Amino acid sequence: MEDCLFCKIIAGEIPSNKVYEDELCYAFYDIAPQAPTHFLVVPKKHISGVSEICEENAAVVAHIFSVISKVTKELGLASYRVVSNCGEDAGQTVFHLHFHVLGGARLADGMC
Ligand code: 5GP
Ligand code: ZN
């Protein structure tokens, strides 16, 4: 999608530090890490956020979670948190579905 930051990162138009890539998804380190390890996993096909997940596109979300399970093992992360902010009030700033994966330290308690 035009003017989408993460679509541009997926296309290689904006550089990123890649963690993993396959035909369905792309994972890269967050530019402003909130934990010692902080990367994002995004579907290659533009979906604006969790609220746009539906029966027709949900398979990619299951795939992304299988990738998170695999990549965190490869990185040696035994404990980690997966977060997806949906909507401005929840803190979403980039409107291309993404899952934050945070780990590498004792994370703060609580959900908000
Ligand atoms: P959100 O706030 O939408 O949940 O998450 C967006 C994330 O994208 C933020 O954690 C932010 O640091 C990250 N981000 C924003 N711009 C860039 C960029 O150009 N490159 C990378 N690697 N991460 C970015
Ligand atoms: Zn996009």
| Number of other residues whose CB lies within 10 A of the CB of residue 96 | 21
State the catalytic residue, choosing from 38, 46, 96, 98. 98
Percent of the chain with pLDDT over 70: 100
Ligand 2 geometric centre to CA of 45 (Å): 7
Q: List helix spans (H) across 59-109.
A: 59-74
Q: Return the pLDDT at 27.
A: 98
Q: Per-residue pLDDT for 49 more than 90?
A: yes
The model's pTM is 0.98
Mean pLDDT of the residues in the chain? 97
**102/35 Cα distance (integer angstroms):** 6
β-pair type (25-29, 80-83): unpaired
Q: What is the pLDDT of residues 67-85, one digit of tens each?
A: 999 999 999 999 999 999 9
* Buried-exposed string 40-56: b where 16+ CB fall within 10 A, e elsewhere: bbbbeebbebbeebeee
Ligand 2 geometric centre to CA of 28 (Å): 14
